[in-house]
């Protein structure tokens, strides 16, 4: 500010030496034929200065824009969840939803009785109860029955292939397919692979949540839209560092197409996710020999550049749940185009939840040799 005032008040007219030559001589100033040695020397010096400044700046920018080496790894299959035994190695969580959902998570027997988890030869289904209406006993006046399952096996790194045939959506729903160590959260991190709320019209959100020291304001190679860049759960009200996919990556438009494959590659170099529609699944995935290096740009890329992935993410289970209402849904309900209020819909309108189910084909876990 001060500098600007000083230069404005400076007399401009007579300060330049060329003023003494008058108008007739003006054109010669712009004609190189009349330039003196001094002028040529000035130009040469300017060019040298530009080179001296520009080269190191370019080099520094390349250095400050590093990217991890995602060298191809050789993956082999270590585990598959599929068929009628799909739910055999999972625990059913029955506590309160930590994000204040209006939901009652039921144990395995109750879930089977209500048919909220169901596994056949070809598919596993997890759903929200639609059998209980306002005049039933029990009713849903304190929350509706739903399920949350946690794999007993825990993982550190690997390539995870999820065959997702139907994603849950509908007013008041908050489904998620994620990896975390719930007993050591956030120390061991959280990797959200699929997540949406209400009608799921904002697409799929892929997000990391961590302790401090994990940031994504670095070079990334992804097709999704980066949201917050700080993954620290203590910042931005635990929004995490999210990446949003296109509208057809979750909900009705994803399901209409028969769903598709969600792939997660979790390794020290970084965490990347891809989504493939049913009619665009790479042959190496169907062939049981997946190789992410051949899949093109990821949907989301969380490189290790400013985040030590190896220490922020550990000992994680696969978790699949459908919460109803809850912090994020309450906050967005007014803008969601959904009727009434969230708890009223959950308590009194079982018909709203007919699309609130996951249908999954096999989940395969590959590990690098």
Contact pattern from residue 326 through residue 365 relative to ligand NAG, giving x for each residue in contact according to CB under 6 A and a dash for the rest: --------------xx--x---------------------
**Rule CB under 6 A: is residue 244 a binding residue for ligand NAG?**
no
Beta carbon nearer to ligand NAG, 307 or 356: 356
CB of 223 to ligand NAG, least distance (A): 22
CB of 59 to ligand NAG, least distance (A): 30
Distance between CA 324 and CA 174 in Å, rounded? 6
Contact pattern from residue 158 through residue 177 relative to ligand NAG, giving x for each residue in contact according to CB under 6 A and a dash for the rest: ----------------x-x-
Catalytic residue (one of 109, 137, 195, 265): 195
Q: What DSSP string runs through 278-317?
A: GGG--HHHHTT---GGGS-SBSEEEESTEE-HHHHS-SBE
* CA-based max dimension of the chain: 101
Q: Which residues of 187-204 are buried (b: 16+ CB within 10 A; e: fewer)?
A: ebbbbbbbbbbbbbebbb
Beta carbon nearer to ligand NAG, 65 or 268: 268
Pairing of strands 357-368, 241-244: unpaired
Residues in 131-150 that interact with ligand NAG by CB under 6 A: 134-135, 138-139, 141, 148
The residue whose Cβ lies closest to ligand NAG is 176
Choosing from 35, 80, 94, 99, the residue that interacts with ligand NAG (CB under 6 A) is 99
Question: What Å distances lie between residue 278 and 282, 284, 320, 342, CA to CA?
Answer: 10, 14, 21, 33
CB of 182 to ligand NAG, least distance (A): 6
CB of 214 to ligand NAG, least distance (A): 18
Q: How many residues bind ligand NAG (CB under 6 A)?
A: 30
For this structure, is 195 an active site residue? yes
Choosing from 18, 28, 60, 74, the residue that interacts with ligand NAG (CB under 6 A) is 74
**Rule CB under 6 A: is residue 315 a binding residue for ligand NAG?**
yes
Assess contact for 273 and 223: CB atoms under 8 A. no
Nearest to 317 by CA among 227, 169, 189: 189
Burial class (CB in 10 A: 0-12, 13-18, 19+), 2: exposed
| Residue for token pair 């050789």 | 74
Q: Which two tokens stand for residue 189?
A: 């991190």
For this structure, is 225 an active site residue? no
Judged by CB under 6 A, the stretch of 29-37, 40-48, 96-104, 285-293 that binds ligand NAG is 96-104
Residues in 184-213 that interact with ligand NAG by CB under 6 A: 184, 195
**Rule CB under 6 A: is residue 183 a binding residue for ligand NAG?**
yes
**Rule CB under 6 A: is residue 77 a binding residue for ligand NAG?**
no
Q: What DSSP string runs through 211-279?
A: SSSEE--S---BSSEE---B-BTTTGGG--EEEE--GGGSSHHHHHTT-EEEEEEEETTEEEEEEEEGG
**Rule CB under 6 A: is residue 222 a binding residue for ligand NAG?**
no
Q: Please state the φ and ψ torsions of residue 227, each to the nearest 5 degrees.
A: -105, -120
Residues involved in catalysis: 190, 195
Binding stretches for ligand NAG (CB under 6 A):
73-74, 93, 97-99, 101, 115, 118, 125, 134-135, 138-139, 141, 148, 154, 174, 176, 181, 183-184, 195, 315, 317, 321, 323, 340-341, 344
């Amino acid at each position: 500010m001060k500098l600007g005032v000083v230069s404005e008040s400076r007399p401009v007219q007579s300060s330049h030496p060329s003023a003494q030559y008058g108008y007739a001589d003006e054109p010669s100033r712009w004609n190189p034929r009349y330039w003196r040695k001094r002028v040529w020397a000035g130009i040469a010096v300017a060019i040298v200065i530009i080179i001296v400044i520009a080269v190191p700046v370019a080099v520094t920018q390349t250095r400050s824009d590093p990217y991890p080496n995602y060298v191809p790894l050789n993956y082999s299959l270590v585990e598959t969840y599929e068929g009628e035994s799909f739910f055999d190695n999972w625990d059913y969580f029955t506590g309160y939803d930590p994000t204040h959902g209006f939901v009652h998570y039921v144990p395995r027997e109750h879930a089977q009785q209500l048919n909220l988890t169901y596994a056949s030869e070809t598919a596993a289904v997890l759903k929200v109860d639609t059998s209980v209406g306002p005049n039933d006993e029990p009713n849903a006046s304190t929350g509706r029955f739903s399920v949350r399952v946690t794999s007993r096996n825990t993982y550190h790194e690997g390539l995870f292939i999820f065959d997702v045939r139907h994603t849950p959506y509908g007013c008041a729903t908050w489904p998620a397919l994620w990896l975390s160590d719930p007993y050591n959260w956030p120390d061991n991190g959280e990797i959200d692979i699929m997540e949406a709320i209400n009608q799921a019209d904002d697409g799929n959100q892929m997000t990391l949540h961590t302790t401090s020291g994990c940031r994504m304001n670095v070079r990334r190679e992804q097709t999704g839209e980066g949201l917050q860049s700080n993954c620290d759960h203590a910042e931005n009200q635990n929004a995490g560092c999210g990446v949003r996919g296109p509208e057809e990556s979750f909900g009705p438009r994803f399901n209409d197409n028969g769903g598709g494959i969600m792939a997660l590659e979790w390794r020290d170099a970084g965490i990347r996710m891809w989504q493939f529609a049913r009619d665009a699944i790479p042959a190496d995935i169907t062939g049981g020999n997946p190789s992410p290096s051949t899949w093109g740009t990821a949907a989301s890329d969380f490189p290790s550049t400013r985040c030590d992935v190896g220490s922020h993410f550990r000992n994680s289970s696969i978790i699949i749940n459908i919460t109803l209402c809850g912090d994020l849904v309450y906050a967005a309900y007014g803008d969601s185009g959904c009727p009434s209020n969230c708890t009223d819909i959950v308590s009194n309108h079982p018909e709203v939840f007919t699309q609130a189910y996951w249908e999954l084909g096999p989940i395969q876990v590959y590990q690098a040799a």
